[in-house]
Amino acid sequence: MAKTMPKFKGKLVMGANGRTNPLVWLVAIICTVIAVAVVVVGIAVFIGYMVIHPRVPVISVNNAHLDLLRNDYAGLLQTQLTIVVTAKNGNARAHASFSDITFNISYQGQDIAVLVADPFEVPKNSSKDLSYVVQSSSIPLSPDQMEQVGDAWKKNEIEFDFTGAARTQWKVGPLGSVKYLCHLDCDLKFRPLNGTYIPSRCTSKSH
Ligand X SMILES: *[C@@H]1O[C@H](CO)[C@@H](O)[C@H](O)[C@H]1NC(C)=O
Residue number with CB closer to ligand X (63 or 156)? 156
Task: Tell me the closest approach of the beta carbon of residue 198 to ligand X, in angstroms.
Answer: 9
Please name the residues in contact with 42: beta carbons below 8 A apart, sequence gap of 6 or more: none
| By CB under 6 A, residue 194 contacts ligand X | yes
Residue number with CB closer to ligand X (146 or 162)? 162
| By CB under 6 A, residue 99 contacts ligand X | no
Please name the residues in contact with 141: beta carbons below 8 A apart, sequence gap of 6 or more: 71, 75, 76, 77, 108, 110, 149
| By CB under 6 A, residue 65 contacts ligand X | no
DSSP-assigned beta bridge partners for residue 168: 98, 180
Stretch 154-173 residues interacting with ligand X (CB under 6 A): 156, 163-165
Contact 182, 59 (CB under 8 A): yes
DSSP-assigned beta bridge partners for residue 165: 102, 183
| By CB under 6 A, residue 114 contacts ligand X | yes
Stretch 10-49 residues interacting with ligand X (CB under 6 A): none
List the one residue from 167, 191, 203, 206 that touches ligand X (CB under 6 A): 191
- For residue 97, CA distances in Å to 19, 22, 102 come to 60, 53, 15
Sites of contact with ligand X (CB under 6 A):
92, 102, 104, 111, 114, 125, 156, 163-165, 191, 194, 196
